[in-house]
Amino acid sequence: MATEIKEFDGAIDKGLEGVVSCTTKISAIMDTTLLYRGYTIEDLATYSTFEEVVFLLWNDRLPIKEEFEKLKSELVSKMVLDSQAIALMRVLPTKNVVPMEYLRTVVSSLSLNDPDTRSNEPDANLRKALRLTGQMGAIVAGFHRLREGKEILIPDPSQGVAWNFLWLLKGEKPSSKLAKMFDTCLILHADHELNCSAFAARVTTSSLSDLYSAVTSAIGALKGPLHGGANEQVMNMLLKIGSLASTKTFIEDAFQNKAKVMGIGHRVYKNGDPRARILKKMSEELTTETNNRHFYEMSVLIDDIMQEKKGLMPNVDFYSATVYYCMGIPIDIYTPIFAVSRVAGWIAHVLEQYTNNRIYRPRGRYAGKLNQIFASKTPTSSPK
């Protein structure tokens, strides 16, 4: 006999759009700007460094000189991978491998040899945070070196994270100007309120799981083309278009076929992404210097058409693609670079979640069958 079933009658917000799931002091989108701990992204991009932003995100204040130098030194020292991590990286496949999958696997394995892996105490989490933030860049660069049959390099302790990442990746010492530009990119990507990957990290943390599990969850979320993977798709789109002359036709065809134009539009920013404005200037400068200005001109044309025809503006992925391309960074490394930067923000969210935790447990509105009856005496298969 069927029993009466009362349906759960909660509000539905597809994609949780407009739902406030927690209180945070880390970052916030305020109209046309982004704030990290109250500082605008424009100010931080102009005057700060990635190491300083990491300290800010984790500590809710800027460091004094001694704290800054200590953090910078510790992060760079953690870019030296230990023998066990390198041994694993050497046995994992690198040919025809999605770099984000490789990164996810190696990051997950780091907990196996971390002496603090069983502790969620604040001091232990800080030590793990330093290791993860330093190692992330070294893993991405090391993966690229290994797949090209080259040796993994050692960072220069006199330089910062941005300079060392480019060195570890390419084996060429970057100019101070290029290192500064890449440092700015790391700042721009370091955090972004409760985005998909930060939310994934907080959900995992809410079960009181460990920092490595939370960051691995975040990497999995970032991998998707609707989140971190969009920057790769932007560059692939520009290469496919090929020239400024073909750009307008390509976009018109996209409209006709209702195809998505990657790097355009944002769920929250309606009057423009402030990070895109900063990256646009960098893109113009770098494309001009490297004889790739046609990519910038194509991007501007797409930008103009999308604003005029669809009322949509570029997001952080749109101009970062040409910036990375002109730096000589392989296209499939763009999303891992996102992780190299965003790990700082993920960790800030994890640490904040620990301090005021309640496990996430949303509801789903059931849309399946009701009042089904199971005849228990009816066999599901014939007896043998």
The residues annotated as belonging to the active site are 266, 317
For residue 182, the tally of other CB atoms under 10 A from its CB is 25
Residues contacting residue 193 through CB under 8 Å, at least 6 positions apart: 24, 26, 27, 28, 29, 34, 268
Plot region of 328 (φ>0 → left; ψ -120 to 50 → alpha; else → beta):
left
The one-letter amino acid code at 358 reads R
Would you list the DSSP string of 10-27?
----GGGTT------SSE
The gap from C-alpha 105 to its chain's centroid, in whole angstroms, comes to 16
- Show the 3-state SS of 326-361: HCCCCHHHHHHHHHHHHHHHHHHHHHHHHHCCCCCC
The radius of gyration of the chain from alpha carbons, rounded to an integer in Å, stands at 23
- Residue 141 has phi, psi (to 5 degrees) of -65, -40
- Give which of 90, 113, 92 is closest to 104, Cα–Cα: 92
- Report DSSP letters for 258-282, one per residue: T---TTB--SS-SS--HHHHHHHHH
Which of 354, 57, 99 lies closest to 192, judged by CA?
A: 57
Residue among 313, 310, 334 nearest 254 (CA):
310
